[in-house]
Structure 1
């Protein structure tokens, strides 16, 4: 009995196959019943007769089912991207083929995951002997690999009294990867991407290293490096760009511990760190440097050995796109020990983590001192905007004063701890979540320009 009820409930939830009455049939049956009930007030009509008349009407409506197409006569296909970036809207096409001699009104649902945006049902008319394409837009907010296995269809009979419901097995695997918008912006126009708050530009210093290319002049460029010949030819101010020596090693560490699950305006700390890490990797690979990536929490979750060239960016993406936040605390000591084993050449170590948590890891300082002897170290995290806002907020009550005092105390403690670590040559920085990628790339470029590696 429970199984039967479950199957029946599944049909009404658009998850199973079956035949259902339409709103038109229910309306006509209601009007017929009300007419007979009102008529019984003036004419002597017994209830059994009213019941039989309703039964005859329902049986007569079943004739409409004769003209409804069966599943073998119909076909559905789905056209969906195999890769989707987190938080970006994509369009999905569903094609319904109607080879019958009757027009068909349909309702469609796709079996995409519940976490995706689901603008269903999609309704429309498919004319006889034609194919029709239906389009909807969906957004995936959570990274990972998803299997979409079914398409669901409801279509009405010729008169519209009944509708048939069925599902089509159409399997597609979708990979939801980090948002690559910032990475694409950098690859398209590095100079424009590195404009910091509209004023300061963190970029490659011109005149240092060997000549690379001629590009458009940007705010902050050295006027002495303007290429006047190309400027006159193109009627646009152009400047020479010089680049430092290539072939350096960049090691990106991504913390996946518990504190990286803290929610931000757009995603959480891990999501923002992944997006920033991919942008730094793209910047380094484009400049001919070697990039290695290591993701960790309590243990090492993934490691991509160093390689150069933009194709390596796809290797990194395929390896780390599905890493998630762990409930455990991060084990920095173990990851630095592992790093000493796998990274023998001098490199810039860029750690994406929670600065506040890292500052209390006294055991990590011992291993970091060893790492610092061979490598450059730089840590970057997402700024706690709520704490900063509370520390600077005006107060009007005793409770607000206490909250502000605690916030200021936490900021002062963090500042003292950072100063202690920076004395050991271990640089740390926090940035607003929307500026995390820009700040990280700026530090990488500044390090390369100064020849610190």
Structure 2
């Protein structure tokens, strides 16, 4: 197909510009043709008469086309958020300006990526000498950076025999970031966020932490923390309140290897790990701790040095929002070597990875023993729900018995391997995908409150 034919075909595919007949014009032509066919059975109609009537109708339609609003006078603009969270619905506003003296029936499409939900085309009437805002809702299921370049408009003539189509250059850059719902829920109410999943923030170890404030004594407080000086002054029992020490270092490792691409109910393991990692980072930054993040697969993909303050959360988000699963096995040995070079201070290392794959990495155990000498290590992964269900399902046939036996054997093997690693002080846990963030945050809070770091 040569270039001219491609351009012509593009016009009929609702791209760039073009002129198209409407359904009304096709129906009128069909009606005229059918009328001539029916009349031919009763009277004799000469060809000049048929030709004259068709020419007259064609000229009439051209007059209607000429009276169509000029393309140069029309304007379209788009308003879309720069950052969209994966899987959430967002409104997009499109404004059409019609400065002409005639009402215009418009049909609109937006040039958003094919992976987005696309409720197109949508139509409406734009009155003369006015502007009208159209709103549609879209959802982005895949993280990444996207360029939206054009808006497409198709509008009809006054009588509705012809319609013109055109494209407006309206460039926008859209970043699809991880779903931050759990992070926002934690920042709004940490205790409620953890209680929703059946997890409570454990009480702090007595005598550990920094002085926070003096408050009224309530039932259940430690009597040893009563502030007798303030009690005597105010004639009310007052107690000292302590909180965990701030300024600790948290290092979050995110595995982007092949096994992290396994699909779950919502997204894959990497998507869930990113969302949980951001929630832990927000919790640590809110407490005044330093947070570093490292994403890796066969090599280090991204590293954010430790820093504190909630502004650092945006730095983390901008760096890792677009990391993707690699079609390669993760190189744990290399990432732990790299970690020893960049993280000199004692920290809590939180690794989001696939536990089953990690347990078979014997070479990583050597490097982890060195890391364990200076840092605390905790690994968390998404539980294999299918394996768990097959191991617990009742059996009614020989085939189901064999499947259940294999599933139980795999669970026992994993449990035995985890026990071997935990003897080295390397804690591991698997959580359901919907509880991954709460489990990770709960472990972080428990570690800080017990003064283990």
Quick one: distance in 2 between partners of 1:311 and 1:74?
Answer: 42
Quick one: distance in 1 between partners of 2:250 and 2:34?
Answer: 79
* 8 A contact 2:251–2:292 mirrored in 1: yes
Quick one: distance in 1 between partners of 2:43 and 2:202?
Answer: 93
CA apart distance, 1:10: 2.1
* 8 A contact 1:272–1:436 mirrored in 2: yes
Distance 1:222 1:104, change over 3 A: farther
User: Paired residue for 1:233?
Assistant: none
CA apart distance, 1:388: 0.5
User: Paired residue for 2:335?
Assistant: 335
Q: Deviations over 1:263-287 (max 9, x none)?
A: 1111110000000000000000100
CA apart distance, 1:42: 2.0
Mean Cα displacement is larger for which, 84-93 or 30-39?
Answer: 30-39
Distance 1:196 1:65, change over 3 A: closer
Is the aligned partner of 1:114 residue 2:114?
Answer: yes
Quick one: distance in 1 between partners of 2:97 and 2:368?
Answer: 63
User: Paired residue for 1:402?
Assistant: 402
CA apart distance, 1:63: 1.1
Quick one: distance in 1 between partners of 2:403 and 2:53?
Answer: 74
Is the aligned partner of 1:292 residue 2:292?
Answer: yes
Distance 1:51 1:264, change over 3 A: farther
User: Paired residue for 1:224?
Assistant: 221
* 8 A contact 2:205–2:449 mirrored in 1: no
User: Paired residue for 1:78?
Assistant: 78
Q: Deviations over 1:359-410 (max 9, x none)?
A: 1101100100100011000000001101111111111222211111111111
Distance 1:214 1:102, change over 3 A: farther
Could you say what secondary structure the match of 1:112 adopts?
coil
1:140-159 correspondence to structure 2 within 5 Å? 140-159=140-159
TM-score by length of 1: 0.92
* 8 A contact 1:383–1:432 mirrored in 2: yes
1:301-380 correspondence to structure 2 within 5 Å? 301-380=301-380
Aligned length: 436
Quick one: distance in 2 between partners of 1:42 and 1:223?
Answer: 105
User: Paired residue for 2:228?
Assistant: none
Could you say what secondary structure the match of 2:425 adopts?
coil
1:273-288 correspondence to structure 2 within 5 Å? 273-288=273-288
Quick one: distance in 2 between partners of 1:33 and 1:356?
Answer: 73
User: Paired residue for 1:15?
Assistant: 15
TM-score by length of 2: 0.92
Q: Deviations over 1:320-351 (max 9, x none)?
A: 01111111110000000000000001100000
CA apart distance, 1:12: 2.6
RMSD over aligned Cα atoms: 2.2
Quick one: distance in 2 between partners of 1:299 and 1:20?
Answer: 54
* 8 A contact 2:205–2:451 mirrored in 1: no
Quick one: distance in 2 between partners of 1:278 and 1:197?
Answer: 18
Q: Deviations over 1:421-442 (max 9, x none)?
A: 1111100000000100000000
CA apart distance, 1:58: 2.7
Quick one: distance in 2 between partners of 1:214 and 1:37?
Answer: 98
Structure 1 unaligned runs (5+)? Answer: 216-220, 227-238
CA apart distance, 1:31: 1.3
* 8 A contact 2:214–2:241 mirrored in 1: yes
Could you say what secondary structure the match of 1:327 adopts?
coil
CA apart distance, 1:206: 7.9
Structure 2 unaligned runs (5+)? Answer: 224-238
Could you say what secondary structure the match of 1:94 adopts?
strand
1:102-251 correspondence to structure 2 within 5 Å? 102-195=102-195, 197-198=197-198, 200-203=199-202, 205=204, 208-212=208-212, 223-224=220-221, 242-251=242-251
Mean Cα displacement is larger for which, 205-214 or 96-105?
Answer: 205-214
Quick one: distance in 1 between partners of 2:201 and 2:283?
Answer: 13
* 8 A contact 2:117–2:138 mirrored in 1: yes
CA apart distance, 1:209: 2.5
Could you say what secondary structure the match of 2:221 adopts?
helix
User: Paired residue for 1:439?
Assistant: 439
